[in-house]
Chains A and B, each alone.
Chain A
Amino acid sequence: MTDPANVHPVTVVVNGDEHETTVEAHTLLVHFIRDTLGLRGTHIGCDTGNCGACTVLVDGEPTKSCMMLAAQVDGASVTTVEGLSERDGLTGLQQAFNDHHAVQCGYCTPGVLVSATALLEREPNPSEEEVRRALKGNLCRCTGYVNIVAAVRAAAGEVSE
């Protein structure tokens, strides 16, 4: 059915696991992650790349996976929310979100965690302004961001101790 010219080989490491497969040209990275790999934690919230619910790390950089084609991650390493923590545990950041009630409906949470993880890796002790700026691409309709900012700063405080 599919024109061979529209199929591309992709070798990509996702959350530490290597996948060697083919993808159709038009397949978005977020659909590859959700539908092909079955990693449902990454979410879709808009059609214009504005909401950040689909944020993953591509080679360590926070990236909106709805704005990339799956074919573009050939040779790259991708981390989704499922790859942030060990199988049964929570990272310090995730625990801080629980402590500070930074989760309500949970739909924005995976994208926020990924963006915040990337922030704390490049800036271990961010100010409130820096946290808000780093998260401005992640929309949340439930929390008003107050507790999210508090949780990220608390996690930073613990990491830098």
Chain B
Amino acid sequence: MRAHGERGVAIAPADLWRALSDPEALGEALPNVDLVDVHDADRFSASVRFATGVGVTPLRMEFTVSDRREGEHVRIAGSGRGGDHAVELELELDVAAQGSGSTVHWTADVRVLGPLRSLGQRVIPGLAKGQVDAVLAAAEQRAGGGAPTDDRAEAVAGAGADQDEVADPERYLGGGM
């Protein structure tokens, strides 16, 4: 399913982009992460603990950073497995100047495999948003930025090729996700 969002960040586009394109920085920024291992300039792995209604599912994920356009755009792909579950995701981030800070517009394409798929389809958009928000907030912190600005994120689940039935995800985006 697909999710997208837009968020203001209190640091300059160049600084933000750097934070998002650097595997080491990303590894530090990702929330709920253990055992980060940076392989090279483009790749890192991490054991990510996705918190869902049925408990915490740790997934060992391999991430690749690519499609870098300096100060503007970066793509982060991840795939991983844990137990009976597997997750594949693609995150595209576009950075632009806004006042003294930046705006980030992001889209995520997330595929969940395994029993989590049925329970997951309701919470994935919210989970994705939460993860992205946390990464941006951490990047902000790291670069010494102030409090996060206006958050106009929407998470929209698209049907895409997998024809899942998902109702209006806004209803499932609660606080504390």
Query: What residues of chain A have their CB less than 8 Å away from a CB belonging to chain B?
Result: 47-48
Contact = CB atoms under 8 A, between A and B. Distances in A.
Contacts of A47: 54
Contacts of B119: 48
A48 B119 CA distance: 10
A47 B54 CA distance: 9
Interface in B110-141: 119
Interface of B: 54, 119
Closest 3 CB pairs of A and B: A47-B54, A48-B54, A48-B119
Nearest to A26: B55
A84 to B, nearest CB: 31
A104 B7 CA distance: 58
A48 B52 CA distance: 13
A48 B54 CA distance: 8
3 contacts: A47-B54, A48-B54, A48-B119
B58 to A, nearest CB: 15
Contacts of A48: 54, 119
A47 B84 CA distance: 15
B161 to A, nearest CB: 28
B80 to A, nearest CB: 23
B117 to A, nearest CB: 14
Nearest to A47: B54
B120 to A, nearest CB: 13
Contacts of B54: 47-48
B121 to A, nearest CB: 14
B53 to A, nearest CB: 9
Nearest to B53: A48
B114 to A, nearest CB: 14
A47 B119 CA distance: 12
A51 to B, nearest CB: 15
A140 B119 CA distance: 23
B83 to A, nearest CB: 14
Nearest to B55: A26
A155 to B, nearest CB: 37
Nearest to B115: A47
A48 B122 CA distance: 15
